[in-house]
């Protein structure tokens, strides 16, 4: 009963907070090392890519477009959910995720990569894009 | 005359600056109590300046009118305070502002604003008798409602009005819109009423209301300071400690409901005031 | 007059008030937005307050996919925000519909309904990324024209 | 000159009434009422200019005045008895018969009519009362002219009852003038009874069942007051051997024995002024057309009650009676304010507010210091103007929107901008500085600060009062988003009284220092305030009237300018959690249906519910009354 | 008499999610409350038509961002049962560890939001401060703070190394220590009790009749918890449901608070009993037949109905989330309470609207 | 399914449900599955002490199913959901959202009935 009418039960907690350093990480000034296996931004080591389309097929959000003929690998980072399924299933292990997140953007953007494995293609029309 | 002019200037110019600073310090301290880093102490000034730069957006033109009257009344009450005028008069002038704020909130049809206005009225209803009785206590000690008389006292009022001071602190909590009594609006709007009666004020008009609130904070802390007006140290210690307590209370209590407030503050607050007054009366 | 205008402009960067609207997200992003307000990230350092009321807000933080029902709400909220304002879309869903963009009740990203100023990718973006996004937006915010008279 | 003025002020209305009753042509009746109103106002001003006097008029038509009075009284009482029988109301019959017996015995066998003393004595209090009655009352009569036409049209009466209505409307004014000017308390009694009968006739005007019931209630309660008055007269005559009011007041100082008649007179006043256990008659009077309520509430009838209390206040200064009256008045103030909070009926709010303010005046009379008396007198003046204004506004509003419920006055500004603003001003003058009602309340509170109980009651009561006024004011301005303000058309006879009253309420507040130093201060035993540069100052406190007016006035102008400028600002619908539909007053609810938002103000039925509180307050009020009378005996 | 009608939501600062309630009030007492849903409805069950049953794991994780791993777990268990896959023991224990870590995280989140609902801001901050440690565990073990994404059909993706488990235990010790400090506040503070005791009472009979689940049901005195079925490794762990009997907001608060301790204890036990071995098995074939899979989410019983027809796309995937079951009880609690208690009561069922509407 | 699924018809459903309620079963949920172009299965799931019980009701799409929400109020939400998603009507719903629980006018076409509405599938997504 006596416990029931006690107010200010929070006081020890707030006083502890008051007299100790704040828990705040002053982010832009003070950054923390990310944990080792964080699933961050997705990249493709395009020179190793064989354009097998496994990643495109396995991707749950269908953000990867691979053109086997043109040897292009394209990923919409704004659709990607950073689940890592493509990385796990990549037969060549040429896909990898950085530990960092992609930076915010003001415009929509697309990761477009052009590789050159077997077939040589004219590059002009791709450059224009 | 010159002294009067200086006091008026202090009231008009310094009071809001002080009020803004108090608000900033309040936010910083609250952050520390919550283990946060907190905004810079001059954050409130940035907020208000930014609001002045925003687009004017109104729901009902009367809101604008009411915001201006609010700030005028708040300013006038502070000026009257610095001119060491009559306490009751100050309260009534302050009430003009409070009432017009409510009227402004009523003038917009948003249910949040309306409910907030109703609640604000309940809060006014709750704190007004307490403040009036505190003034009566001051009168019984000093024989006058004038602040100038209070300042002539040689003994701190707190010694003879301890319970009334506590009752006044209830009013202070309500007026500062601090937990557990922040029903009608709150600075951190995670509550059932969004921003309560301030929901429909925006941009420059919200800035006016904010500045008016600073005036009111200064006024009510000034009223607290009267209880130890014999020395500057007394004033600083008393007001500082009171404000610190308010922040602490804000951080260690859940928001209650207004029904609870009405019952609790009226019974406990009025009983304490009454006991103190009877004691004074019997002396 | 000019100094006041400059000061107002400066104040804008220092005090962006935030309105968060969950526009059909899975809660992941919302919780991260809330986490930003809490001690470890504490975006109140930047003067950001979660005001929860479009009329007070400068910064609309939208998470989640837009669907046929909440698109109206999103439009309403954006309309009720006084200028200048910025819209930040959070998370894959907010940017494009993400993993759900092919579901039948999903229209797509936030930019299909209202113009978006900053896109913050991630599923969900970490609080640090949200802070980055807001900071990116602020630069844009200061330059926007408002009523500085 | 004085004779003419007194004739015009007291008997003029009776003659006008007779004309109204006889001449059945609408336009002529209107003209008579208008002319009478002008005449009364002019006469009252002239009388005012003449200043205080004491005067005995020559006998009328050669018959001694006391015979006129006796006949008048008997006619009055028998009329009341007739109505008592007609409505089969036992209590009324008993009270009236008691009065007839007492009065006739008293007048015929006890009073020595040969003693001469001034029959009419006017000090500043009386003059103020005459002014209020004649000016505010006349304005109400003028307002009634177009109002009653519309009213009868709406009610669909077969035959116009306006002749009788206007007759009694003006009669009450004459009676009130007589009451406040009389020095002979038998005169006072007669005029007192005329107001009783007049109010009965006015309340029963609609002749609906409820109107009759309420009218009868008003009748018996006021008869009770009359009976108390008679007993008081008899007692006073037995102890002092005179019916000279001035003498009685002076006699009060002599001690205990004089207290009984004074207590009974106060009782009569309390019942007349509808203080707590008697409040039901005034609330019931709300069924009558608005001019009736306006007249009864602002300048006449209930003011007779407080006038008596204030008039005899010096007589009981410093006694237990006085203390008791102070607490009782403060209690009524609190109780009426509390009950007003639970009301949504505009007229009822006004009624409770009247009861509360009268309670405050009684409290002032009870406190009985110069400050308190000042407060009481000023309150009578300011209250009369503001309250009459508000009643007329409610009447006008009711005729336009078909309801007197304040919930239906939402968005009134859009429908009737002019009336809405006038009503708003009326409300503000009732509760906020720098206006007169608040000035007098400030004085009352400062005067009461030594009386602990009174103080606590006043403190709580005044904040309750702020509550019910403020929300009403807010509601008047709340308009649906985007609604266009339609200009309002108003007849000149409607607009004129409203404008004069609102002007009066505002300008008189500005003139408060003048009113005080020229009118109130001379009657006081000691000056209560020193007035300099519009600052009321005494050792207890200071009210910086002109500085406050100046600053708030400037703020008001700025605010108006800003609001005007803000018309160009972008408008946006109210915040509805983002769910608003194309119509910004609706939100999209469940099942995709648009739901119109609505809001209701809080009436706290569970805390301040009228039913609940009335019982308790009546018990307390009864106890106070018993204490008041019992203590005095 | 006109009543106050308030649109409570879809955008409202007290709800992080768009729930809409049409509230009809009289003197701030709720007379009528009608919910409107559909602001978060995406139709993701339908995505089973265009995504194969492996990809659906990622989608199920994104049904809800607070208990994502448990959704995936439920889905995977369903498919595994349908295809007759026996999951390695270590994987089962790992699933329990992640599920319970998620429960700690979710309950701390909820305790914070609940505190926020009755305006206790510093308590909200405190809960979320503690929660950040749990989020760190998520990020360190799964690579993402929210979508840990460890479950796959046939086991789990990631293993926990011994030094990682040690670190988890030490972090959880800190968490438990901090949570203990809040016990006095959340369970015994006068103001908190005043705002929660007796608010939104749901009796035992009502709770069962209206189909309440999880802490809402256990707060009404019914000791029912899907973990009692012993799915994953729960059969090997000591576990009894936490029950409180009053059925009010306070009881639900109490259940969740004590479950936080329990979840930490379960993680400790699971780590101590963690068997060695494989963490996943290879999956062959396509799901065929229908199955109901149930697990205990932080919010209560989660039910997946899966129907496969031997193709890589499922025939039907239906998700019944705990909040979906808790909404009818919520509606029975709302009338008659004060407006100020609406957030408290709505949050007391721990609503997850994105779960509900999918 | 591990547990037996008892088939019911619209006529026997009412009795069965009432019996379940009498026996103290908790209503878990209903699942609706499209069988072919004309019929759907509605599965009713109940639970008592963690034991599941299921009923299967097979009805044509154009026929209204009897609502069990008068017996189990908790069912109103899921029945409304099925109305939205499959276009099956329920008779006697406790709170009938009339196919507006989730959907707006834009998607008023029983999205889960893929076989009958396959011709408009093209408009899905973006």
| A70 contact partners, CB below 8 Å, separation of at least 6 | A114, A121, A126
Backbone angles phi, psi at E155, to 5 degrees: 150, -145
Instruction: Assess contact for B37 and C42: CB atoms under 8 A.
Output: yes
pLDDT tens across E230-277, in order? 888 888 888 888 888 888 888 888 898 898 988 999 888 888 888 888
Instruction: Assess contact for F53 and F24: CB atoms under 8 A.
Output: no
Mutation target to probe the D interface, by most D beta carbons within 10 A, among E3, E5, E336 is E5
Instruction: Assess contact for E56 and E47: CB atoms under 8 A.
Output: yes
Check CB contact of B253 with chain E, cutoff 8 Å.
yes
Report strand pairing: C66-67 vs C106-108.
Answer: antiparallel
Set of chain E residues whose Cβ sits within 8 Å of the Cβ of C75: none
Q: What order of strands is seen across the sheet that includes strand A72-75?
A: A64-67, A72-75, A111-114
Task: Evaluate if residue F108 carries a pLDDT over 70.
Answer: no
Give dist(CA A54, CA A58) in Å, integer: 6
Nearest to residue D73, comparing CAs of D93, D102, D111? D102
Q: How far is F38 from chain E (nearest CA, A)?
A: 16
Q: Which residue in C28, C40, C50 is closest to E132 by CB distance?
A: C40
At the top level of CATH, the class of A34-118 is: alpha beta
CATH number at residue F46: 3.30.460.80
The count of domains in chain B is 1
Q: Which residue of F has its CA nearest to E36?
A: F101
Q: What is the mean pLDDT of residues E71-83?
A: 87
Interface touch E143/A35, C-beta < 8 Å: yes
Interface touch E318/F104, C-beta < 8 Å: no
Q: What is the mean pLDDT of residues D484-501?
A: 81
pLDDT tens across E93-152, in order? 888 888 888 889 889 888 888 888 888 888 888 888 888 888 888 888 888 888 888 888
Q: How far is D105 from chain B (nearest CA, A)?
A: 50
Q: What is the mean pLDDT of residues E292-298?
A: 88
Q: Which residue in B29, B36, B252 is closest to A11 by CB distance?
A: B252
Interface touch B68/D558, C-beta < 8 Å: yes
Set of chain C residues whose Cβ sits within 8 Å of the Cβ of B116: none
Average pLDDT, chain E: 86
Q: How far is C95 from chain F (nearest CA, A)?
A: 13
In 10 A of CB D406, how many CB atoms?
23
Interface touch A6/E139, C-beta < 8 Å: no
- Residue C18: helix, strand or coil by DSSP? strand
Average pLDDT, chain D: 84
Q: How far is B35 from chain D (nearest CA, A)?
A: 31
Check CB contact of C21 with chain D, cutoff 8 Å.
yes
Range with the largest mean pLDDT of A1-5, D30-34, F81-85: D30-34
Judged on CB neighbours under 10 Å (0-12, 13-18, 19+), F15 is exposed
**Rounded to a whole number, what is the largest CA-CA distance in chain A?**
85
Could you say which DSSP state residue D108 is in?
Answer: I
Give dist(CA B236, CA B225) in Å, integer: 8
Q: What is the mean pLDDT of residues B67-87?
A: 89
Q: How far is D345 from chain F (nearest CA, A)?
A: 37
pLDDT tens across D253-278, in order? 555 667 788 888 888 888 888 888 88
Nearest to residue F111, comparing CAs of D405, B100, B110, C68? C68
Q: How far is B241 from chain D (nearest CA, A)?
A: 28
Task: Evaluate if residue E2 carries a pLDDT over 70.
Answer: no
C-alpha pair distances (Å), F15 with each of D151, D547, E64, F27, F51? 65, 83, 37, 15, 20
Set of chain F residues whose Cβ sits within 8 Å of the Cβ of D592: 100, 104
What is the share, in percent, of chain E residues with pLDDT greater than 70? 99
Nearest to residue E246, comparing CAs of E282, E203, E280? E203
Could you say which DSSP state residue E11 is in?
Answer: S
Task: Evaluate if residue D488 carries a pLDDT over 80.
Answer: no
Give dist(CA A77, CA C121) in Å, integer: 7
Judged on CB neighbours under 10 Å (0-12, 13-18, 19+), E167 is middle
The count of domains in chain F is 1
Block residue for tokens 């007849």: D491
Could you say which DSSP state residue A106 is in?
Answer: S
Give dist(CA E137, CA E142) in Å, integer: 8
| E102 contact partners, CB below 8 Å, separation of at least 6 | E66, E67, E68, E69, E70, E138, E148, E298
Two tokens, residue D330: 């403060």
Between chain C and chain A, are at least 3 CB pairs below 8 A?
A: yes
Block residue for tokens 């804000």: B250
Check CB contact of C49 with chain B, cutoff 8 Å.
yes
Task: Evaluate if residue F123 carries a pLDDT over 50.
Answer: no
Average pLDDT, chain B: 86
Q: How far is A32 from chain C (nearest CA, A)?
A: 10
Judged on CB neighbours under 10 Å (0-12, 13-18, 19+), D499 is middle
Q: Which runs of consecutive H residues, i.e. helices, occur in F37-103?
A: 75-86
Q: What is the mean pLDDT of residues F3-11?
A: 82
Give dist(CA B122, CA B133) in Å, integer: 18
Q: Which residue of A has its CA nearest to C64?
A: A79
Residue F16 belongs to some domain of the structure? yes
Q: How many residues does chain A have?
A: 129
Per-residue confidence (pLDDT) for residue B282, from 0 to 100: 78
Q: Which runs of consecutive H residues, i.e. helices, occur in D156-286?
A: 162-181, 185-203, 209-240, 245-252, 259-272, 279-284
Q: What is the mean pLDDT of residues F51-66?
A: 84
Q: What is the mean pLDDT of residues D20-32?
A: 84
- Window 187-246 of B, Cβ < 8 Å to E: 188-192, 194
Judged on CB neighbours under 10 Å (0-12, 13-18, 19+), E24 is middle
Q: How far is C9 from chain E (nearest CA, A)?
A: 27
Tell me the β-bridge partners of C20: C61
Check CB contact of E233 with chain C, cutoff 8 Å.
no
Q: Which residue in B48, B187, B194 is closest to C53 by CB distance?
A: B194
pLDDT tens across B4-61, in order? 888 888 888 888 899 999 989 988 888 888 888 888 888 889 889 888 888 888 888 8
Fold of domain E42-339: Cytochrome-c3 Hydrogenase; chain B (1.10.645)
Give dist(CA E3, CA D526) in Å, integer: 54
Per-residue confidence (pLDDT) for residue D415, from 0 to 100: 82
Check CB contact of C46 with chain B, cutoff 8 Å.
yes
pLDDT tens across C32-66, in order? 888 888 888 888 888 888 888 888 888 888 888 88
Judged on CB neighbours under 10 Å (0-12, 13-18, 19+), D533 is exposed
Mutation target to probe the C interface, by most C beta carbons within 10 A, among D578, D584, D585 is D578
- Window 143-202 of B, Cβ < 8 Å to C: 187-190, 194-195, 198-202
Domains present along chain C, CATH in parentheses: 19-143 (3.40.50.12280)
Give dist(CA E173, CA E38) in Å, integer: 41
Instruction: State which residues of chain C have pLDDT below 70.
Output: 145-149
Two tokens, residue D614: 């009335």
Per-residue confidence (pLDDT) for residue A128, from 0 to 100: 45
How would you label E317-346 residue by residue, b for 16+ Cβ within 10 Å and e otherwise? bbbbbbbbbbbbbbbbbbeebbbbbbbbbb
Interface touch C40/A78, C-beta < 8 Å: no
Two tokens, residue E218: 């256990």
| B31 contact partners, CB below 8 Å, separation of at least 6 | A22, B37, B38, B39, C42, C44
Two tokens, residue B214: 């600073």
Instruction: Assess contact for E344 and E320: CB atoms under 8 A.
Output: no
Per-residue confidence (pLDDT) for residue A37, from 0 to 100: 78
Per-residue confidence (pLDDT) for residue B21, from 0 to 100: 92
pLDDT tens across D422-449, in order? 889 899 998 888 888 888 888 888 888 8
Could you say which DSSP state residue F114 is in?
Answer: T
Interface touch D589/E7, C-beta < 8 Å: yes
Report strand pairing: D53-55 vs B57-58.
Answer: unpaired
Note down the domain range covering B202: 2-282
Confidence band, pLDDT 50/70/90 cuts, at residue F125: very low
Residue F118 belongs to some domain of the structure? no
Q: How far is CA E150 from the centre of its chain?
A: 17
In 10 A of CB D113, how many CB atoms?
15
Domain residue extents for chain E: 42-339
Q: Which residue in E25, E122, E192 is closest to B33 by CB distance?
A: E122
Note down the domain range covering F27: 5-109
Confidence band, pLDDT 50/70/90 cuts, at residue D633: low
Two tokens, residue E219: 């707060």
Per-residue confidence (pLDDT) for residue A121, from 0 to 100: 45
Instruction: Assess contact for D298 and D391: CB atoms under 8 A.
Output: yes
Q: What residues of chain C have any CB closer than 8 angstroms to a CB in chain A? A: 39-42, 45, 88, 92, 95-99, 101-102, 109, 111, 117-123, 125-129, 131-133, 135-136, 140
Residue F121 belongs to some domain of the structure? no
Give dist(CA D58, CA D217) in Å, integer: 38
Q: How far is C23 from chain B (nearest CA, A)?
A: 18
Interface touch E11/C64, C-beta < 8 Å: no
| E193 contact partners, CB below 8 Å, separation of at least 6 | A4, E250
Sign, Cα dihedral of E13, E14, E17, E20: negative
Per-residue confidence (pLDDT) for residue E285, from 0 to 100: 79
Q: Work out the angle at residue D141's Cα, subtended by the Cα atoms of residues D138 and D142, and round it to the nearest 5 degrees.
A: 90
Task: Evaluate if residue E30 carries a pLDDT over 60.
Answer: yes
Domain residue extents for chain A: 34-118
Give dist(CA D464, CA D253) in Å, integer: 37
Set of chain B residues whose Cβ sits within 8 Å of the Cβ of A17: 32-35
- Residue E308: helix, strand or coil by DSSP? strand
Check CB contact of F124 with chain C, cutoff 8 Å.
yes
Check CB contact of C130 with chain E, cutoff 8 Å.
no
Give dist(CA E6, CA E12) in Å, integer: 12
Q: Which residue in C68, C69, C97 is closest to F126 by CB distance?
A: C97
Check CB contact of A31 with chain C, cutoff 8 Å.
yes
Q: Taking the CA of residue D200 as centre, how many other CA atoms within 13 Å lie in the half-sphere pointing to its CB?
A: 25
Backbone angles phi, psi at E295, to 5 degrees: -140, 170
Interface touch D577/E20, C-beta < 8 Å: yes
Q: How far is A13 from chain E (nearest CA, A)?
A: 7
Q: Which residue in D572, D579, D588 is closest to C79 by CB distance?
A: D572
Two tokens, residue D187: 């005169």
Please name the chains neighbouring C, where neighbouring means 3+ C-beta pairs under 8 angstroms: A, B, D, E, F
């Amino acid at each position: 009963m006596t416990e029931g009418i006690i107010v200010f039960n929070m006081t020890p907690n707030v006083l502890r907070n008051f007299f100790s350093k704040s828990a705040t990480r002053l982010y832009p000034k003070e950054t923390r090392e990310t944990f080792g296996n964080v699933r961050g931004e997705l990249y493709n080591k395009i020179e190793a890519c064989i354009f097998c389309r496994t990643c495109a097929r396995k991707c749950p959000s269908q953000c990867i477009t691979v053109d086997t003929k043109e040897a292009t690998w394209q990923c919409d980072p704004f659709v990607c959910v950073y689940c890592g399924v493509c990385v796990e299933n990549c037969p060549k292990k040429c896909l990898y995720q950085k530990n960092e997140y992609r930076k915010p953007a003001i415009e929509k953007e697309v990761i477009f990569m052009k590789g050159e494995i077997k077939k040589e293609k004219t590059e002009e029309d791709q450059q224009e894009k | 005359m010159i002294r009067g002019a200086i006091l008026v200037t202090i009231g008009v110019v310094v009071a809001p600056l002080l009020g803004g600073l108090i608000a900033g310090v309040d936010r910083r301290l609250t952050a520390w109590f919550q283990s946060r880093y907190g905004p810079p102490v001059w954050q409130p000034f940035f907020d208000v300046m930014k609001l002045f730069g925003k687009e004017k957006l109104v729901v009902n033109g009367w809101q604008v009118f009411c915001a201006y009257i609010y700030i005028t009344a708040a300013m006038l009450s502070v000026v009257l305070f610095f001119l060491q005028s009559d306490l009751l008069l100050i309260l009534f002038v302050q009430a003009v502002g409070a009432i017009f704020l409510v009227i402004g909130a009523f003038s917009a049809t948003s249910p949040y604003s309306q409910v907030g206005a109703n609640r604000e009225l309940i809060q006014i209803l709750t704190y007004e008798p307490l403040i009036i009785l505190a003034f009566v206590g001051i009168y019984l000690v000093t024989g006058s409602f004038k602040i100038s008389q209070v300042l002539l006292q040689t003994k701190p009022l707190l010694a003879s009005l301890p319970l009334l001071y506590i009752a006044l602190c209830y009013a202070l909590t309500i007026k500062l819109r601090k937990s557990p009594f922040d029903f009608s609006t709150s600075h951190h709007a995670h509550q059932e009423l969004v921003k309560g009666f301030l929901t429909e004020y925006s941009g420059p008009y919200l800035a006016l209301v904010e500045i008016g609130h600073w005036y009111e904070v200064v006024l009510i802390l000034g009223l607290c300071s009267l209880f130890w007006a014999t020395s500057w140290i007394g004033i600083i210690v008393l007001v500082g400690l009171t404000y610190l307590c308010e922040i602490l209370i804000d951080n260690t209590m859940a928001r209650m409901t207004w029904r609870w407030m009405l019952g609790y503050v009226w019974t406990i607050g009025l009983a304490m005031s009454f006991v103190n007054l009877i004691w004074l009366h019997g002396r | 007059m000019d100094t006041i205008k400059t000061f107002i402009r400066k104040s804008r960067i220092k005090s962006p008030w935030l309105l968060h609207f969950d526009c059909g997200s899975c809660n992941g992003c919302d919780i991260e937005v809330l986490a930003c307000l809490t001690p470890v990230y504490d975006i109140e350092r930047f003067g950001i307050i979660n005001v929860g009321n479009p009329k007070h807000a400068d910064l609309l933080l939208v998470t989640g996919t837009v669907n046929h029902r909440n698109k109206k709400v999103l439009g309403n909220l954006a309309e009720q925000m006084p200028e200048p304002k910025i819209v930040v879309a959070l998370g894959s869903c907010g940017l494009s519909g993400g993993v759900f963009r092919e579901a039948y009740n999903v229209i797509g990203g936030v930019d299909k309904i209202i113009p978006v100023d900053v896109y913050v990718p991630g599923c969900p973006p970490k609080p640090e990324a949200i802070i980055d996004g807001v900071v990116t937006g602020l630069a844009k915010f200061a330059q926007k024209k408002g009523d500085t008279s | 000159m004085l004779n003419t003025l007194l004739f015009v002020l007291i008997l003029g209305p009776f003659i006008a009434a007779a004309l109204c009753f006889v001449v059945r042509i609408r336009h002529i009746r209107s003209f008579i009422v208008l002319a009478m109103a002008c005449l009364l106002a002019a006469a009252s001003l002239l009388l005012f200019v003449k200043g205080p006097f004491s005067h005995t008029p020559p006998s009328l038509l050669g018959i001694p005045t006391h015979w006129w009075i006796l006949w008048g009284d008997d006619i009055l009482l028998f009329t009341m008895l007739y109505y008592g029988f007609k409505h089969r109301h036992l209590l009324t019959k008993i009270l009236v018969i008691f009065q007839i017996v007492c009065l006739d015995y008293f007048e015929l066998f006890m009073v020595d009519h040969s003693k001469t003393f001034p029959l009419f004595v006017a000090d500043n209090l009386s003059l103020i009362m005459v002014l209020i009655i004649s000016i505010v009352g006349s304005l109400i009569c003028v307002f009634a002219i177009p109002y009653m036409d519309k009213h009868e049209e709406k009610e669909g009466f077969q035959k116009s009852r306006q002749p009788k209505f206007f007759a009694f409307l003006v009669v009450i004014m004459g009676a009130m003038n007589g009451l406040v000017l009389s020095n002979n308390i038998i005169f006072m009694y007669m005029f007192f009874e005329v107001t009783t009968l007049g109010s009965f006739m006015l309340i029963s005007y609609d002749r609906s069942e409820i109107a009759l019931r309420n009218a009868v209630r008003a009748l018996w309660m006021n008869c009770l007051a009359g009976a108390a008055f008679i007993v008081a007269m008899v007692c006073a005559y037995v102890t002092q051997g005179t019916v000279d009011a001035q003498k009685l007041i002076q006699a009060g100082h002599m001690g205990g024995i004089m207290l009984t008649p004074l207590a009974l007179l106060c009782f009569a006043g309390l019942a007349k002024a509808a203080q707590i256990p008697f409040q039901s008659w005034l609330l019931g009077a709300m069924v009558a057309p608005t001019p009736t309520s306006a007249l009864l509430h602002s300048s006449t009838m209930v003011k007779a009650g407080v006038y008596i209390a204030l008039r005899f206040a010096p007589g009981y200064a410093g006694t237990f009676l006085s203390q008791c009256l102070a607490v009782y008045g403060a209690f009524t103030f609190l109780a009426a304010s509390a009950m007003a909070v639970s009301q949504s009926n505009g007229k009822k709010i006004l009624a409770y507010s009247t009861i509360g303010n009268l309670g405050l005046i009684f409290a002032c009379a009870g406190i009985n210091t110069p400050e308190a008396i000042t407060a009481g007198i000023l309150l009578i003046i300011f209250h009369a103007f503001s309250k009459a204004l508000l009643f007329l506004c409610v009447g006008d509003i009711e005729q336009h929107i078909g309801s007197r419920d304040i919930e239906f006055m939402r968005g009134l500004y859009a429908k009737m901008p002019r009336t809405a603003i006038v009503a708003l001003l009326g409300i503000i003058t009732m509760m906020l500085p720098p206006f007169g009602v608040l000035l007098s309340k400030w004085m009352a509170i400062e005067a009461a600060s030594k009386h602990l109980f009174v103080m606590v009651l006043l403190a709580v009561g005044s904040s309750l009062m702020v509550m019910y006024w403020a929300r009403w004011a807010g509601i008047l301005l709340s308009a649906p988003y985007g609604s266009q303000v339609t200009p309002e058309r108003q007849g000149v006879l409607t607009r004129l009284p409203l404008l004069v009253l609102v002007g009066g309420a505002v300008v008189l507040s500005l003139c408060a220092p003048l009113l005080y130093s020229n009118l109130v201060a001379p009657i006081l035993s000691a000056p209560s305030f020193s007035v300099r540069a519009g600052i009321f100052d005494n050792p207890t406190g200071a009210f910086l009237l002109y500085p406050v007016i100046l600053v708030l006035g400037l703020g008001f102008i700025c605010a108006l300018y800003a609001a005007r400028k803000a018309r160009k600002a972008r408008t946006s619908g109210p915040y509805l959690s983002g769910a608003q539909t194309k119509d910004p007053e609706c939100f999209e609810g469940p099942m995709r249906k648009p739901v119109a938002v609505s809001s209701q103000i809080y009436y706290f039925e569970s805390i301040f519910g009228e039913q609940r509180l009335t019982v308790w307050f009546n018990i307390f009020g009864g106890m106070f009354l018993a204490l008041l009378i019992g203590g005095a005996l | 008499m006109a009543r106050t009608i308030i649109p409570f939501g879809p955008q409202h600062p007290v709800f992080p999610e768009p729930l809409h309630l049409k509230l009809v009030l009289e003197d701030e007492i709720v007379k009528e409350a009608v919910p409107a849903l559909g602001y978060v409805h995406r139709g993701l069950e339908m995505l089973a038509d265009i995504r194969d049953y492996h990809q659906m794991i990622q989608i199920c994780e994104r049904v809800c961002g607070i208990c994502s791993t448990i959704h995936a777990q439920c889905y995977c268990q369903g498919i595994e049962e349908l295809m007759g896959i026996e999951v390695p023991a270590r994987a089962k224990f790992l699933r329990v560890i992640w599920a319970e870590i998620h429960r700690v995280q979710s309950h701390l989140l909820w305790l914070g939001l609940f505190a926020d609902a009755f305006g206790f801001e510093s308590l909200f901050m405190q809960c979320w401060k503690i929660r950040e440690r749990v989020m760190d565990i998520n990020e360190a073990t799964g690579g993402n703070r929210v979508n840990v994404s460890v479950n796959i059909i046939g086991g789990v993706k990631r293993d926990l190394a011994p030094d990682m488990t040690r670190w988890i235990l030490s972090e959880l010790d800190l968490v438990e220590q901090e949570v203990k400090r809040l016990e006095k506040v959340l369970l015994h503070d006068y103001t908190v009790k005043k705002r929660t005791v007796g608010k939104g009472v749901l009796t035992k009979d009502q709770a069962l009749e209206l189909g309440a689940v999880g802490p809402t049901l256990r707060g009404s005195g019914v000791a029912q918890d899907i973990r009692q079925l012993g799915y994953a490794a729960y059969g090997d762990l000591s576990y009894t449901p936490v029950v409180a009997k009053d059925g009010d907001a306070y009881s639900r608060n109490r259940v969740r608070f004590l479950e936080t301790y329990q979840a930490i204890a379960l993680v400790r036990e699971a780590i101590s009993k963690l068997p060695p071995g494989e963490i996943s098995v290879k999956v062959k074939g396509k799901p065929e037949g229908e199955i109901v899979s149930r697990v205990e989410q932080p919010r209560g019983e989660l039910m997946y109905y899966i129907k496969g027809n031997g193709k890589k796309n499922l025939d039907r995937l239906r998700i019944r989330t705990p909040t979906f079951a808790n909404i009818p009880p919520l509606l029975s609690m709302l009338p008659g309470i004060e407006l100020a208690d609406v957030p408290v009561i709505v949050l007391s069922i721990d609503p997850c609207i994105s779960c509900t509407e999918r | 399914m591990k547990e037996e699924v008892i088939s019911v018809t619209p006529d026997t459903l009412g009795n069965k449900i009432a019996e379940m309620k009498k026996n103290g079963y908790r209503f878990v949920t209903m699942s609706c599955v499209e069988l072919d172009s004309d019929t759907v299965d509605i599965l009713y799931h109940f639970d008592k002490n963690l034991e599941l019980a299921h009923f299967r009701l097979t009805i044509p799409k154009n026929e209204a199913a009897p609502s069990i929400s008068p017996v189990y109020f908790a069912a109103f939400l899921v029945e409304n959901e099925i109305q939205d998603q499959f276009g099956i009507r329920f008779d006697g719903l406790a709170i009938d959202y009339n196919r507006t629980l989730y959907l707006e006018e834009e998607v008023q076409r029983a999205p889960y009935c893929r076989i009958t509405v396959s011709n408009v599938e093209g408009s899905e997504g973006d």
